[in-house]
Structure 1
Amino acid sequence: MIDVTLALLFLAAAPDPQPGISEALAAERARRIRDIHYELHLQVPAQREQPIVGTAKIRFSLQQPEQPVVLDFAPGADHILSVSVPYRWVNGHLVLRKGAEPIEIRFRAGDAPLNRNPDYFYSLFVPARAHFAIPCFDQPDLKTRFSVTMQVPAGWQAISNAAPGVATEPLPTYLLSVAAGKFQVEQSGRLRLFHRETDRKKVDRNLKAIFELHERAIRAMEEYTGLPYAFGKFDFVALPAFQFGGMEHPGAIDYKAESLFLDESATQQQLLGRASLIAHETAHMWFGDLVTMKWFNDVWLKEVFANFMAAKIVNPSFPQLNHELRFYLSHYRTAYDVDRTAGANAIRQHLANLNDAGSMYGPIIYQKAPIVMRQLEALLGETKFRNALRVYLKRYSFSNVTWDQLITILDEQTPADLKTWSKIWIDTAGRPPAGKTKSYGHFVLPDGYGSYTLDAHSRTYLLAHLPEIPDALTRAIAWGTLWENMLDGKVAERDLQLLALAWLPRESDELNIQRTLTDLTRLSLWNREPRVETLLRERIETAPSRSLKAAYFEAYSRTASSPEAMDWLTRVWKKELLIPDLPLAENDSIALASELALRGIDVRQQQLAKIQNPDRKAEFAFVLPALDADPAVRAQFFRSLLDRKNRAHESWVLDALRYLHHPSRAKASEPFLLPSLVVLQEIQKTGDIFFPQRWISTTLRGHRDRESATVVRRFLATLPPHYPARLRLTILAAADELFRFSAR
């Protein structure tokens, strides 16, 4: 029997672990701890105001048992109900003495990563947020077998990575999933979908495609890797207001509901987006789940292969598409949005503490890294590259790796100097100067990823003749290069507007049309050009497909402002006027009501009364004050967002910010800029991985004047030395266009 007094004295003498999970703590635990098995039982009350009470029984083998063991548990000492061994709580950790028996802990779960709603909840533990809810070893290289049971209210469904009480394969804590609530269940073979969609026609219209896309992705991954799906059951949950497009919990993938359940008017981009999202999350079952990065500085490694494989998987499902064009449009422009800025970061970054792991995510790992990985595949050849990945996955199944370990395997397939290549492309920030170029007779364009300034002749020619270029990909590269040159001040915004007006009626590729409409919308919010409104209205009537009609309609509703346009859009919203072959679904009606409110036509309450789905009704009710015509109401609402409890639904907050900082209201929202910057560090600590970047990008995107730029520059100039370096880069990247335009 342990002498409790001696044990407590022993624990008191142990050094205090620092907040978060440091590299040193993680390395020490990875050296000492093996064979972790975690039995977790949660009692979930029907009322979200009541705590979720849990019991955790943790078994593991331990080297140097005479040394204390540090578990992570951030909610606080007051959330610990009992522990079976002597312990003390300090800095978000339990320091305890491990005996021969399992450690058993009763606790009140922390709510921060549990996303609790009136009749459902779900966990989101990536990158290191499991310990904000439950006691655990919250680092990716201590994989655990989880056995989870939940006691839930009558009528609720409970979902986790494996069946109740069944042990999972070894998983890192960030992939543990627990969810429960009033869900409907759909099944097709081994696949089960849990959802809350109340529109049965919408469910039935999408269900076959959702299941087929998953099955195709699983088969494609098994064929490419030579390894079967390793995690038993294959469930997925469609969640309203989910923070990401999806999250790759094995056996229990989470998706944003609207990404799966598309409206009848879905554009080709939305159909592609759904297919790519499903392929991305399925690819993670191998890249990230089966083989996991050792530390979150290599988080890009799982994301690059999920995106890389998604492109390979989606292509056969959409044989009519130009997939090289799609890759360019999906990756280059978004990567440039960060890589051109003073906030650019390398693909692989140093990470001292998992507290900062969320700042690793962004366009550099999601968009630039796949471009770089395609270079590597081209360097080795497809067959050798696939063979190397098969070795990698088989050798490190259910284990953890670093990029250097993969490079070693890849090096065996080629005489090329991959370490030098990696230093340039993986470890260096920013766009390289464009090396290779391609001449098209009348003009020259970059041939690859990089920064490129058009020569005067090429610039003049493309502004006049871009629609005449026969190849769709070349047209896209030309438009993208002109866009970059516009940001550099080499091309006038009005010239790009006029080019879009000449190009759109002649463009035959839907992907190019949708990309150009996105850019034209951005331009037209700042520079009113009546001919844009005229063209968009005409194309709503004459576009050859439903998805294009929807794309033109969205652009029109976001940019039109004439009295005639407002009257026409109001009649469409009231359904007094029906657009042939373009049904107005509930989401479309909500979006249109929001745009009308921005332009002084207040139909918010009528729209709220019309919404049938309770989750969509709650979201629109939240956003309503951001659409109010009274600046005082909007200001009061903004101040409420500075309180973390009012930011629980991050996607709702981002919608509200887009309306608060709409260009038409930029002057009124300028006082919100400094508080938005000040609260950003708290948002990084309390929000999910993409939220800090999206919060500040959405805030600054609606501003262009010098006063706004001055606010941001002064804030950056007064930051203390200990301010998180990556968060500073996030601000610099988000402010890039503001700085550029305000200086003109």
Structure 2
Amino acid sequence: MISRSAFLLLALAIASAATGLEAQAAAPPMDEMMRPGVSAELARHRAATLRDVRYRLELNVAQSDSAAPGMVTATFTRAPGAGDLVIDFRGPTLSSVTANGQSVSDHVWENGHLRIPARYLRRGENTISAGFTARIAASGASIIRFKDNTDGATYLYTLLVPADANQLFPCFDQPDLKARFTLTVTAPRSWRVLANGPVLRTHVQARTQAVRWSFGETQPISTYLAAFAAGPWKSWSSEQGGRPIGLYARASRAAEVEADSLIAVNRRAVDWLERYFGVPYPFGKFEMLLAPAFPFGGMEHVGAIFYNENQFIFREAPTLGQQIGRKSTIYHEVAHQWFGDLVTMRWFDDLWLKEGFSTYMAARMQDELDPASEAWKTFYLRNKPLAYGTDQTSGTTPVWQDLPNLDLAKSNYGPIVYNKAPSIIKQLNFLVGDSAFQAGLTRFLTRHAYGNATWRDLLDALEETSGTSLDAFGEQYILRAGMPVVQPRMEIVDGRIAGLTLHQRPARELAGDPGGWWPGRVLVRLAYHDREDMVIPVTFTGEVTRIAQAEGLPAPDYVWSNEGDYGYGLFLLDSASAAFVAQNIGREEDGLRRAMLWGALWDEVREGRMDPAAFARTAMRELPGERDEQIAGLNMGRAWTALSTYLPESRAAPLMGGWERLLL
């Protein structure tokens, strides 16, 4: 692994070389750029005409519990011919706007944008400053206020994703205009403040006794990743190998916090990712906050990860699912420090790139660091049913989703981004191979460090390291909506396999579907009760793929065409295999395989190939002996859906007695 200092020098040199500005053509019409939200036209224009952005941001949270006055000074390099400057700001008040030392009395502030006429600006370096106020509220504001009913304490924290930084302060609020932040926060004397950068100094103000917290300048980061939190936090710190890690939580719950354990898990994640990526932890510090009333599981702010307090502090003995969930959230958010923070998507149409990779890397990490967790079984159960359920519908979307305005970014969150994306990344890894995949990620992260990239940049890096063309992968898995249904067809002659083929078709006919077959690589298991199973690697060659290696082998008990869960799609069973699996699924010892075979039986129901009553009877027979609470919980839901939704009351009624006894 290259050293941290050498990596920083190399990455910043690459980033600087990639951001040269030249004289620009005329800017887009001003009415387009001043529309509410941040339009793609505005973002492209600014990305082409601005660089080297820095924000010096001052906020005071000691004066009021509903508003924070502030001052921002933004410096940047501007190309010639860039036209009027548009800055984003949706806060309640704006004042004292200056440009290069001149008061800008004729600025326009409307639709969440501040427009500064071009005559105040110059080619090269410019400085804009403005006073402003940011709202503080329990919800719906950029600074979230939490009142602790236990001890009456007040806590504040920011949440700016995906495009709410401009609700906090005037800025260029788009992911591909990364900036260096220098933050100062004035807070009550009893409070502590954490932010993206390290604390440089604190100063008690003589008149008010408030404390001014000054933080060091960050590396270039996207605006949605900027953050701070303030309040009477309890803190813990641990240093190992020269890396201190800090943890903050509200004082009233400090006794419940498993501080040593949480710090240790985060440290293991950082160490593992450094080794895997071959890229050192890219930011100056590492801290985390257990945020009360946090709306997400976690948020990957640079150097200051915010975790959901309720998911990290257990009031009673946690279930297996809660324990696994907490670790996987940690692994996911720490992975974001590389995928999402060091290299950020250029625009939120590539939201899947950071979310999918972090979920996938979290599973890889958990599999290696916690072998007993059966991480890939959990990965399957938490991702595939949701992804498949969405991708089968007429309302499904591609993984890459066109986004004309950042106002729409929140609509892109959902099962396609969070569940399908990591699933196709697992297939991508299997397709190119482990060593090429790992080398490709290192190349991608190094090439685009402290900058931005798209999914095409990722595939380019993987093509270079694997020597495999990934054009078809991009077209079918990233740009195309929907998924394949893969079904085996087997011919048996005299007790042996005369032919075995895999057949593809779309799960649903979608308007505007470009068609074609999905490339991919899978493992096909031929299972036997009286001899060792045969596992055959298969690369799809078209809508029909022949498996020549299977020909001549004894007829198996069943064929499973997605062994190991590397493929993405509905993998059905042939009729003989479905009958065998339904009768013998409880004997399968491997947790992942048993979970997937249950999923295959449920897909048979949803495809109209298995009677819902037969599934319900099978589930009710096996549930009392199911030792895996994740599988049991999912099958309880499926069985109830079969009984209450898929079956008419006349057919469900005879099964209800057994169902009620099962629940007792």
**TM-score > 0.5, shorter chain as reference:** yes
Question: CA separation in 1, counterparts of 2:261 and 2:369?
Answer: 11
Question: CA separation in 2, counterparts of 1:305 and 1:88?
Answer: 41
Question: CA separation in 1, counterparts of 2:343 and 2:59?
Answer: 28
Match of residue 144, structure 2, among 103, 115, 138 = 115
Match of residue 86, structure 2, among 70, 77, 82 = 70
Question: CA separation in 2, counterparts of 1:415 and 1:315?
Answer: 28
Q: Deviations over 1:324-345 (max 9, x none)?
A: 3233223211211211111111
Question: CA separation in 1, counterparts of 2:298 and 2:612?
Answer: 35
Gaps of 5+ in 1: 1-10, 538-744
The reply on whether 1:192 has 2:242 as its aligned counterpart is no
The reply on whether 1:88 has 2:108 as its aligned counterpart is yes
Match of residue 498, structure 1, among 617, 621, 630 = 617
**Partner residue, 1:40:** 57
Question: CA separation in 1, counterparts of 2:313 and 2:332?
Answer: 17
Alignment of 1:25-64 (within 5 A): 25-45=42-62, 47-48=64-65, 50-64=66-80
The reply on whether 1:165 has 2:194 as its aligned counterpart is no
Q: Does the CA-based 8 Å contact 2:612-2:643 persist in structure 1? A: no
Q: Deviations over 1:19-55 (max 9, x none)?
A: 211121111111111111101111114653x321111
Q: 1:34 is aligned with what amino acid?
A: R
Report SS of the residue matched to 1:170.
coil
Aligned residues, how many?
A: 521
Alignment of 1:252-331 (within 5 A): 252-331=304-383
Cα–Cα, structure 1 residues 503 and 90, in superposed 2: closer, same or farther, change >3 Å? Answer: same
Q: Does the CA-based 8 Å contact 1:161-1:252 persist in structure 2? A: yes
Alignment of 1:715-730 (within 5 A): none
More displaced stretch, 469-478 vs 163-172: 469-478
**Partner residue, 2:284:** 232
Match of residue 179, structure 2, among 138, 141, 144 = 144
Residue 531 of structure 1, CA deviation: 4.1
Q: Deviations over 1:224-275 (max 9, x none)?
A: 1122112112111111221111110011111111222234421222211111
**Partner residue, 2:128:** 103
Match of residue 413, structure 1, among 465, 468, 472 = 465
Question: CA separation in 2, counterparts of 1:238 and 1:133?
Answer: 21
The reply on whether 1:135 has 2:170 as its aligned counterpart is yes
Cα–Cα, structure 1 residues 430 and 38, in superposed 2: closer, same or farther, change >3 Å? Answer: same
Gaps of 5+ in 2: 1-26, 148-153, 200-213, 488-501, 503-523, 528-555, 646-651
**Partner residue, 2:491:** none
Residue 494 of structure 1, CA deviation: 4.7
Q: Does the CA-based 8 Å contact 1:57-1:102 persist in structure 2? A: yes
Residue 107 of structure 1, CA deviation: 0.9
Question: CA separation in 1, counterparts of 2:431 and 2:573?
Answer: 28
Match of residue 215, structure 1, among 233, 253, 267 = 267
**Partner residue, 2:395:** 343
Question: CA separation in 2, counterparts of 1:104 and 1:321?
Answer: 52
Match of residue 224, structure 2, among 174, 178, 198 = 174
RMSD: 2.6
Identity, in percent, stands at 36
Q: 1:253 is aligned with what amino acid?
A: I
Q: Deviations over 1:51-97 (max 9, x none)?
A: 21111111111112772111001236xx1132124211122100014
Q: 2:620 is aligned with what amino acid?
A: L
Match of residue 473, structure 1, among 592, 596, 610 = 592
Which structure's residues are more often strand, by fraction?
2
Question: CA separation in 1, counterparts of 2:82 and 2:384?
Answer: 54
**Partner residue, 2:447:** 395
Residue 461 of structure 1, CA deviation: 4.0
Question: CA separation in 1, counterparts of 2:619 and 2:303?
Answer: 45
Q: Deviations over 1:202-221 (max 9, x none)?
A: 32xx2222111101000001
Cα–Cα, structure 1 residues 390 and 145, in superposed 2: closer, same or farther, change >3 Å? Answer: same
Residue 533 of structure 1, CA deviation: 5.0
Q: 1:42 is aligned with what amino acid?
A: L
Q: Deviations over 1:429-472 (max 9, x none)?
A: 11212154655434444423223555554444444332133433
Question: CA separation in 2, counterparts of 1:66 and 1:210?
Answer: 48
Report SS of the residue matched to 1:105.
strand
Question: CA separation in 2, counterparts of 1:371 and 1:499?
Answer: 28
**Partner residue, 2:539:** none
Q: Does the CA-based 8 Å contact 2:344-2:452 persist in structure 1? A: yes
TM-score, normalization by structure 2:
0.73
Q: Does the CA-based 8 Å contact 2:58-2:185 persist in structure 1? A: yes
Question: CA separation in 2, counterparts of 1:109 and 1:322?
Answer: 46
Report SS of the residue matched to 2:465.
coil
Cα–Cα, structure 1 residues 208 and 523, in superposed 2: closer, same or farther, change >3 Å? Answer: farther
Report SS of the residue matched to 2:217.
coil
Q: Does the CA-based 8 Å contact 2:221-2:450 persist in structure 1? A: yes
**Partner residue, 1:595:** none
More displaced stretch, 324-333 vs 242-251: 324-333
Residue 493 of structure 1, CA deviation: 4.7
Question: CA separation in 1, counterparts of 2:422 and 2:387?
Answer: 10
Q: 1:95 is aligned with what amino acid?
A: R
Alignment of 1:366-515 (within 5 A): 366-434=418-486, 436=502, 438-440=525-527, 441-447=556-562, 448-515=567-634
Question: CA separation in 2, counterparts of 1:498 and 1:219?
Answer: 48
Question: CA separation in 2, counterparts of 1:392 and 1:200?
Answer: 40
Residue 502 of structure 1, CA deviation: 2.0
Report SS of the residue matched to 2:379.
helix
Residue 499 of structure 1, CA deviation: 2.5
Q: 2:77 is aligned with what amino acid?
A: S
Q: 1:513 is aligned with what amino acid?
A: A
**Partner residue, 1:365:** 417
Question: CA separation in 2, counterparts of 1:385 and 1:340?
Answer: 29
TM-score, normalization by structure 1:
0.66
Residue 172 of structure 1, CA deviation: 0.6
Question: CA separation in 2, counterparts of 1:413 and 1:150?
Answer: 46
Q: 1:74 is aligned with what amino acid?
A: R
Q: 1:17 is aligned with what amino acid?
A: M
Question: CA separation in 2, counterparts of 1:524 and 1:185?
Answer: 51
Q: Does the CA-based 8 Å contact 1:152-1:180 persist in structure 2? A: yes
Residue 520 of structure 1, CA deviation: 5.2
Q: Does the CA-based 8 Å contact 2:363-2:376 persist in structure 1? A: no
The reply on whether 1:354 has 2:396 as its aligned counterpart is no
**Partner residue, 2:20:** none
Question: CA separation in 2, counterparts of 1:525 and 1:208?
Answer: 46
Q: Deviations over 1:168-188 (max 9, x none)?
A: 111110101122223221222
More displaced stretch, 287-296 vs 112-121: 112-121
Which structure's residues are more often helix, by fraction?
1
Question: CA separation in 2, counterparts of 1:339 and 1:494?
Answer: 25
Question: CA separation in 2, counterparts of 1:227 and 1:405?
Answer: 18
Q: 2:601 is aligned with what amino acid?
A: L
Report SS of the residue matched to 1:228.
coil
Match of residue 155, structure 1, among 181, 190, 197 = 190
Q: Does the CA-based 8 Å contact 2:73-2:130 persist in structure 1? A: yes
Question: CA separation in 2, counterparts of 1:60 and 1:31?
Answer: 13
Question: CA separation in 1, counterparts of 2:380 and 2:40?
Answer: 37
Question: CA separation in 1, counterparts of 2:47 and 2:625?
Answer: 60
Residue 14 of structure 1, CA deviation: 5.7
Report SS of the residue matched to 1:320.
helix
